[in-house]
Amino acid sequence: MAKLKVHFEYPMHCQSEILYEYLASAEGLAEWFADEVVEKGDDFYFSWNGGEPERATMIRYKPESFVRYRWEADEGTKNFFEMTIVIDEITNDLSLNITDFADEGDEEDVKQYWDNLIENLQIKLGAA
């Protein structure tokens, strides 16, 4: 069954250069996204609570703009998760936009998952 694309937007009070490092590097991702992150080329191995690593491949990126990953389990599908830095041209306010995929009926669970992750990121950055 096809998953549904979902979008979330979070205001961030920080510099785009710093935020990008937290989205695109193993060191940055380990600060808020997973307990441990190992980067091998375009492959990132994420571990939580000492469990087996899960692989996601960075499939697209633009420095200081966005990064897109695809989980190993989603290979062969159009599913991915993307984190995009958006700067409002008028106010210069910065936000982090998330695109992800959810099973039908799980959209609220996926939103809560990202809400918690981004809250951790905002705390790490002092960007709340």
Residue spans per domain, the chain: 4-127
Instruction: Work out the average pLDDT over 20-26.
Output: 97
Instruction: Work out the average pLDDT over 58-63.
Output: 96
**CA nearest to 100, candidates 119, 87, 113:** 113
What is the predicted pLDDT for the residue at 71? 97
CATH fourth-level superfamily of 4-127: START domain (3.30.530.20)
Q: Exposure of 69 by Cβ count < 10 A (0-12 exposed, 13-18 middle, 19+ buried)?
A: buried
pLDDT score of 56 more than 70 = yes
pLDDT score of 128 more than 70 = no
Question: What pTM value is reported for the model?
Answer: 0.93
pLDDT score of 79 more than 70 = yes
Q: Across the chain, what does the average pLDDT equal?
A: 95
- Strands 36-40 and 81-87, how do they pair? unpaired
Q: Which two tokens stand for residue 100?
A: 């992800």
Q: Which residues lie closer than 8 Å to 40 by C-beta, 6 or more apart?
A: none
What is the predicted pLDDT for the residue at 2? 84
pLDDT score of 30 more than 70 = yes
